[in-house]
Structure 1
Amino acid sequence: MDSSKRRKQILEKKKKIHDVIKRASSRLDPLSPFDSFRRYTKNDLSVYLEPGRGDRLSSSLKQHIRKLLKKNMEGFYGSDWPIQAKVKRKEMSSPDARYIFVRELRYGKAYEEGCDQIAGFVHYRFTLEEEIPVLYVYEIQLESRIQGKGLGEFLMQLIELIASKNQMSAVVLTVQTSNALAMTFYMSKLGYRISSISPSKTNLPTFSAKYEILCKTFDSEAKSVLEKNDGEPTKDCVSSM
């Protein structure tokens, strides 16, 4: 194959992937194909899920999210938290940010609109990782009172369904290495693997990063790129964190 044809194929592939991500990001309600996932009623917990966007968050909701993030994550980041908090504040309001909000139910009905009843959220985006279309989970945060009731696994099942429905080739997420429970949850319970783009798999002089990038791939191309040389360092891999 001559270089011009090869170049044309590469450009066509990039355009197709760009269109897939654009189409996925433009969906007004990504939960609509999965109505059975809108509610979770189990283990003395009753919640309702609703979608959201980063560029449509009210100031009070932003403040609520920040408080929950600080409560859940400050201890894992330690002295790095002030810097990370600024990064997360910027990320949460991005037009690319997509949300699943966990709203508590009372007497079988959703509370009236208000931040006080938001008991958790998932922040995710449709994006590229090593030229592979992925759903990247930026945050999954739950109030302590609703943790340990199976909701986290339920939300991740929904995330994987949304990724597959929107033709994403993988789900990718970042976990602090100090968060042993989260590492066990994703890897042992949900079958995620440390990606080849994770800092511990790159040829850095010393591994000093405090996080791992995990992935679950859905096709052979994503597997070959995001899980390549599993167990061995890889070259020229850079995290998009």
Structure 2
Amino acid sequence: MAGMAEIEVVVAHGERATLRVGDVFLKIDVDQTRTDVEVRAMALAPIPTPQVLWRKPPVLALAALPGMALGRLGEPSPASSAAWAAAGAAVRALHDAPLPPWPGRRLEEIASRLDGECAWLVSNGLLPADVVIRNRQIAEAVLRPWKPVFIHGDLQIAHVFVDDDEITGVIDWSEAAPGDALYDLAVLTLGHEEHLDDVVVGYGTHVDLDVIRGWWSWRSLVAARSLIENGFDPSLPGCEFDVLRARM
């Protein structure tokens, strides 16, 4: 029909799909608890988020954000240093907000998942054992107590939108929870270590770089199986396996 917007499949796999129709994103999720968290987290977050247009389970309709994503994993970021610093400042504002009233991941769960995914990577021959072992050692830096803050939980650069070096919004809040502040900073800079200094400047306080490096290793190790099972390739240039190899 003339004048109708085309449907763009943003992401799709067995559990979730996101479609774009004009200026509207339609998120379809078989697990409504994730959508519940997303809607509640966006309402609580003190930083820009997409407008909820309507919700009719299993579909959540969100308005598109202005601007462009900060970047993509495996590709050079088109954003300026000022935009990266603005992202750091937005993360700090989130971390300074009151905690969301639902639980986050326990330290024991984080350690157990690390052990299990390292064993899976080695047993399936996806990475040399020495790469897994070395990154397992680096990831041990995250296994310590922390003061929980309000974290996004999946702060990939593709989830942060900027325009004229200002943050216009952050999307995909289904992993939001109380957690380790440095996890958000690590996920934001994963594969883009050259912008870590910009993010830290915007964040405005001292951070433990060894822990951020530990979270880079942890995230890359534990994400591989889920990525592969959902049709993504962590071995692409600049992606998770390259992050792990860079630690050698």
Q: Is this a same-fold pair by TM over 0.5?
A: no
Relative to the length of structure 2, the TM-score reads 0.28
Which has the larger share of strand?
1
Relative to the length of structure 1, the TM-score reads 0.28
**Structure label with greater radius of gyration:** 1
